Amino acid sequence: MINLSFEEINFMVVAVALAVILFMLLSIIVRERVSDRNFAQYQSEMAGRLAQMSEYNSLEQNKIAQAIAEQKLSLLKIIDEKLLQVSQNVGVGLQQSTAKTNETLLALRERLAKIDAAQQKISSLSEQVVSLQEVLSNKQARGAFGEIQMQDLVSSILPPSAYDFQVVLSNQKRADCVLKLPNPPGKIVVDSKFPLESYQALQNASSEHEKQEAERFFRNSVAKHIKDIAEKYIIPGETAESALMFLPAESVYAELHSRFVDVVETSYKSKVWIVSPTTLMATLNTVRAVLKDAKMQEQAGVIQKEVSCLVEDIGRLDERVDNLSKHFEQANKDIAEIKTSSSKIVRRIDKIEEIEFAEPEVGKIIQQKDAI
């Protein structure tokens, strides 16, 4: 197979064209210079040469056409191979892209499922928040909310014998909780209060005038609760000289102690101690320690009496041990005397045997020794 480049083929075509042009020019020149006879001969020769050149040109054209065809086939084969490789690469790329797309879609589906679950939880929490807002908007429900929270704290820390809920006092006032401590201090009343409206007004105030009004509202609300507790739940001879006001929200407790120090001082003067869930827990742990100490003091007399009886029992045991020791000493003495008597008896028996088997004179000598 002849491999010719396009430059070589163009060069051959140009060469053939130049040869033809040169032949025509020579024919014109020769026609002008030679006679007709010679020209005819020359023309015939030139015709033969042209025939040869035409045949050669034909052959060269065939070769060129064949080379072009072969080159075309080679180019087509290369193009097919390249197209096949490109199609294969495109197929692999599409497969990889499809796999990655499927993975991405699967991860996206999982994330959407998680988002859906989170959205459901958020919806549930929103419903609960709305429900809690509805509960807190009602004064009776809000009071019950504070009482339940306070009861949970008390029942989780103190023993059942140390408290009572919803106790009616001698003045016919119902206390939320009574802590039964020994005298002093005696019974301590715990009452739950939740000044939510005044606190929300304080938080929602925007202008200076609204802030002043909200502060006055909050101060008056808490002061009224302090006064009510001091008048209702501090009864001389029945309860302790102080009482506890339970605020079920740490935020309200913090706001009160940070910005309304005068109200806190008023509670101190009224002997009404304001507590939050955290401080009530600490107070109840202290109460539990006091109850444990009081219980130990109640049992101290019993323990002392038992110790006295134990000392008496130990004294009687010591006397009896002494008597037993005397009995053992007497027994040892009796045993020693018995051993002495048995030893004498044994010696008597030995002497009797010697008397039976010895000579008469020897027996007399032995008798004399015994007499001695």
Scanning the structure block, which residue is given the tokens 């739940």?
233
Measured in whole angstroms, the distance separating CA 296 from the mean position of its chain's CA atoms is: 41
Sort 169 into a burial class: Cβ within 10 Å, 0-12 / 13-18 / 19+. middle
**Amino acid letter, residue 299:** Q
- Cβ-Cβ contacts under 8 Å for 166 (sequence gap 6 or more): 174, 175, 176
CATH topology of domain 144-296: Trna Endonuclease; Chain: A, domain 1 (3.40.1350)
What count of residues does the chain have? Answer: 372
Q: What is the pLDDT of residues 313-359, one digit of tens each?
A: 888 887 888 888 888 788 888 888 888 887 888 788 877 777 655 45
pLDDT for res 28? 64
Rounded Cα–Cα distance for residues 93 and 99 (Å): 10
Range 6-19 average pLDDT: 63
SS3 181: coil
Q: What's the Cα-to-Cα distance from 256 to each of 29, 224, 244, 334, 345, rounded to whole Å?
A: 130, 14, 15, 93, 108
The alpha-carbon radius of gyration of the chain (Å, integer) is: 65
Q: Are 343 and 336 in contact (CB under 8 A)?
A: no
Rounded Cα–Cα distance for residues 363 and 369 (Å): 10
Tally Cβ neighbours within 10 Å of residue 245.
22
pLDDT for res 371? 46
- Whole-number mean pLDDT of the chain? 77
Percent of the chain with pLDDT over 90: 8
Buried/exposed 313-324: b ≥16 CB within 10 Å, e otherwise: eeeeeeeeeeee
**Can you read off the two tokens belonging to residue 25?**
């020019």
SS3 274: strand
pLDDT for res 27? 63
Q: What is the pLDDT of residues 145-200, one digit of tens each?
A: 778 888 898 998 888 888 999 888 888 888 889 998 888 788 899 998 888 788 88
In the predicted model, is pLDDT for residue 34 greater than 60?
no
Is the pTM higher than 0.85? The answer reads no
pLDDT for res 124? 64
Percent of the chain with pLDDT over 70: 75
Residue 129: band (very low, low, confident or very high) from pLDDT cuts 50, 70, 90: very low
Backbone φ and ψ for 362, nearest 5 degrees, come out as -65, -35
Q: What is the pLDDT of residues 243-264, one digit of tens each?
A: 999 988 888 888 888 888 899 9
